[in-house]
Structure 1
Amino acid sequence: MKISHYFEFEDHVTGGIHESVVHQRKMLDRLDLEYTVEPTLDADVFHCNLMGPRSVWYAKRARSRGVPVVANTHVTAEDFGDSFRFTNALAKPLSPYLRWTYGLADALVCPSEYNRDLIETYTDVPTTVISNGVDREKLEGFESLEAEYRERYDLSPPTVFLVGHVIKRKGLETFVELARRLPGLDFAWFGPLDLSLKGRETTNLIEDAPDNCTFTGFVDDIRGAYAAGDIFCFPTHEENEGIALLEAMTAGKPLLVRDIETFSWLEDGEDCLKVADAGADGFANALERLKDPTLRNRLGTNAARRSEAFSLSTVANRYRSLYDEVC
C-alpha cells in the first residue's frame, strides 16, 4: 500500500497542525507503510491535512479515478477565530468552504470526539476519531533541562506554564489576569509570539502583562518548557484536542483546564482540575490549591498514566485500520 501523505502549506504552517503531521509520518514509519509527501494520484490513498486549493484539486481528481481520499479535520470555523489577525473576519466564510471541501473526502480523521461532533454538523462523510498522539520519545530527558531553563527565564517553582502559539483563543486574557492576581507565582508561556500577526488587543495583553508573566517566544528545545514548568494551566476557550496538553501529561505535570467539552474525557480531581466559571476567579482558587505539592504530584502521576493511551505506537494501528477500510 502506498500513501500520498500531503500537507499543503507545509513550509508555512506551524503549531499543533504541523506537529500532528510530524506525528502521522512517524506513525507511518512505525507501520512500515510506503508513503510520499508529494501530492500524487499514483497511490492507493490520497491523504491530505489541509484543504487548500491544491489539495482540493487533487481530491476531486482522486475521487474521479477511484483513489480514496482521507482528510484530517484540523481546522474548524469554531477554533479559527481569536487566533491571528483577520481570523475572526475569515471564520464565518470559512464554515461553508470547509463543509464543501471536507465533503470531498471518503473518510475524515477527527482528533477528538468533540471535533467529530462539530464535523458531523458540516458533512455526512464517515468520520473516525484518531488522536494526534504524543511523541514520548521527543520528551525523553526533559528533566535534565530544569536548572538551565529556570535560570534562563528567571522562574521559581511552582511555575505556572503553557506551551504553544500565544493567541487569544487559548486563554491569553485569563493567563495574564492570573499572573496579575497571584504576584507570588511565576507564569511562563513558551511559544512563538509573532506579534506582527496579532491584533492590537492581543499585543496589548502581552505588552502590559505583569513582571511575573514571561512570554519566552520560540524555544529551541521544547523539553525545557516541561522541565521548568510545574503546573500546566490551559484556559483555552476552544480546542480540537491539544497536543501540548498530552505532552504535559506525559511529563507528569498537573493540569488546570477550562471545563469545556473538548476536555470532557479528563476527570476533575483525578488527572486534572477543571474550572467551570468564565472569569479568572475559579482559576485563581484552583492555583491556590495547586500550591500543595502533594496534590500536584497525585494529579501529575495520574495524568502521566492516562497519557500512555495516546502514545504514537498505540495510535498508529488506527491509521492502518482506516487505510485498510477505505481501500
Structure 2
Amino acid sequence: MKISHYFELESHVTGGIHESVVHQRKMLDRLDLTYTTEPTLEADVFHCNLMGPRSVWYARQARSKGVPVVANTHVTAEDFGDSFRFTNTLAKPLKPYLEWAYGLADALVCPSEYNQDLIETYTETPTTVVSNGVDRSKLAGFESLEDEYRERYDLESPTVFLVGHVIKRKGLKTFVELARRLPDLDFAWFGPLDLSLKGRETTALIENAPDNCTFTGYVDDIRGAYAAGDVFCFPTHEENEGIALLEAMAAGKPVLVRDIETFSWLEDGKDCLKVSEAGVDGFEAALERLRDPELRAQLGSNAAARSEEFSLEAVANQYQSLYEEVV
C-alpha cells in the first residue's frame, strides 16, 4: 500500500499541526508503509493534513479517479479564532469552506472526541478519532537540561509554564494575570512570539506582563521547557487536543487545565487539576495548592502513566486500520 501523505504549506505552518504531521510520518515509518510527501494520485490513498486550495484540487481529482481521500481535521472555525491577526475575521467564512472541503474526503481523522463532535456538525463524512499522539523519544534526556534552562531564563522552582505559540485563545490573559497575582512564582511561556502577526490586545498583554512572566520566544531545544517547568498551566479556551499537554504529561509534570469539553477525558484530582470558573480566581487557588511538592509529584506520576495510551506505538495501528478500511 502506498500513501500520498501531503501537508500543504508544510514549510510555513508550525505549532501543533506541524507536530501532528511529524508524528504521523513516524508512525508510518513504524508501520513500514510506503509513502511520499508529494501530492500524487499514483497512490492507494491520498491523505491530506491541511485542506488548502491545492489539497482540495487533488482531493477532487482523487475522487474522480477512485483514489480514497483521508483528511485530518486539525482546523475548525472554533479553533481558528483568537489566534493571529485577522483570524477572528476569517473564522466566520472559514466554516462553510471547511464544511465543503471536509465533505470531499472519504474518511476524516479527528484528534479527539470533542473535535469529532464539532466536525459531525460540518459534514456527514465518516469520522474516526485518532490522537495526535506523543513522541516520547523527543523528550529523551530532558532532565539534563534543567540547570541550563533555569539559568538562561532566570527561573526558580516551582516554575509555572506553558509550551506553544503565544496566542490569546490559549489563555494568555489568564496566564499573565496569574503571574501578576503571584509575584513570588516564576511564569514562563516557551514558544514563538511572532509579534508582527499579533493583534494589539495580544501584543499589549505580552509587553505589559509583570517581571516574573517570561516569554522566551522560540527555543532551540523544546526539552528545555519541560526541564525548567514544574507546573504545566494550560488555561486554553478552545483546543482540538493539545500535543504540548500530552508532552507535559509524558514528562511527568502536573497539569492544570481549564475545564473545557476537550479535556473531559482527564480526571480532576487524579490526572490533573481542573478549573471550572470563568475568571482567574480558580487558577490562582489551584496554583496555591500546587505549591505542595508532594501533590505535584503525585499528579505528575499519574499524568505520566495516563499518557502512555497516547504513545506513537499505541496510536500507529489505528492509521493502519483506517487505510485498510478506505482501500
Counterpart mapping for 1:166-185 below 5 A: 166-185=166-185
Distance 2:286 2:117 in 1: 29
Inter-partner Cα distance in structure 1 for 2:158 and 2:253: 11
What is the alpha-carbon distance in structure 2 between the residues aligned to residue 175 and residue 278 of structure 1?
Answer: 13
**Structure 1 unaligned runs (5+)?**
none
Q: Given residue 163 of structure 2, which amino acid in structure 1 is its aligned partner?
A: V
Matching residue of 1:231: 231
Distance 2:170 2:208 in 1: 18
The whole-number CA distance in structure 2 between the counterparts of 1:309 and 1:127 is 20
Paired position in structure 1 for 2:155: 155
Q: Which runs of 5+ in 2 are unaligned?
A: none
- 1:290-309 matched pairs, under 5 angstroms: 290-309=290-309
Cα deviations by residue, 1:132-190 (Å, 9 ceiling, x for unpaired): 00000000000000000000000000000000000000000000000000001000000
What CA distance in whole angstroms lies between the structure 2 residues aligned with 1:82 and 1:41? Answer: 36
For 1:108 and 1:254, the matched residues in 2 are separated by: 32
Q: In the TM superposition, what is the alpha-carbon distance from 1:266 to its structure 2 partner?
A: 0.2
- Match of residue 83 from structure 2: 83
2:220 matched to 1:202? no
Q: Match for residue 271 of structure 2?
A: 271
Counterparts of 2:152 and 2:213 in 1: how far apart (Å)? 14
After TM superposition, give the deviation of residue 256 of structure 1 in Å. 0.3
> Counterpart in 2 of 1:112?
112
Q: 2: CA distance between counterparts of 1:271 and 1:261? A: 15
Q: 1:68 aligns to what?
A: 68
Which residue matches 2:16? 16
Aligned AA (1:193):
L
Structure 2 counterpart SS, 1:13: coil
Equivalent AA in structure 1 for residue 266 of structure 2:
L
How far the C-alpha of 1:317 sits from its partner, in A, is 0.3
CA distance in 2, matches of 1:2, 1:191: 35
CA offset digits 1:277-307 (Å, max 9, x no partner): 1110000000000000000000000000000
1:314 CA drift (Å): 0.7
Question: In 2, distance between residues paired with 1:314 and 1:270?
Answer: 22
Shift of 1:34: 0.1
Q: Distance in 1 between matches of 2:260 and 2:191?
A: 23
SS at match of 1:70: strand
Q: 3-state SS of the aligned residue for 1:118?
A: helix
**SS of aligned partner of 2:215:** strand
Tell me the matched-pair count: 327
2:271 aligns to what SS in structure 1?
A: coil
Name the aligned partner's letter for residue 205 of structure 1: L
CA shift digits 1:228-261 (9 cap, x unpaired): 0000000000000000000000000000000000
Q: Within 5 Å, which residues of 2 pair with 1:133-148?
A: 133-148=133-148
* 2:33 equivalent in structure 1: 33
Match of 1:245 in 2: 245
| Cα RMSD (Å) | 0.2
Matched ranges for 1:87-102 at <5 A:
87-102=87-102
Percent sequence identity over matched residues?
A: 85
Match of 2:3 in 1: 3
Paired AA for residue 92 in structure 2: K
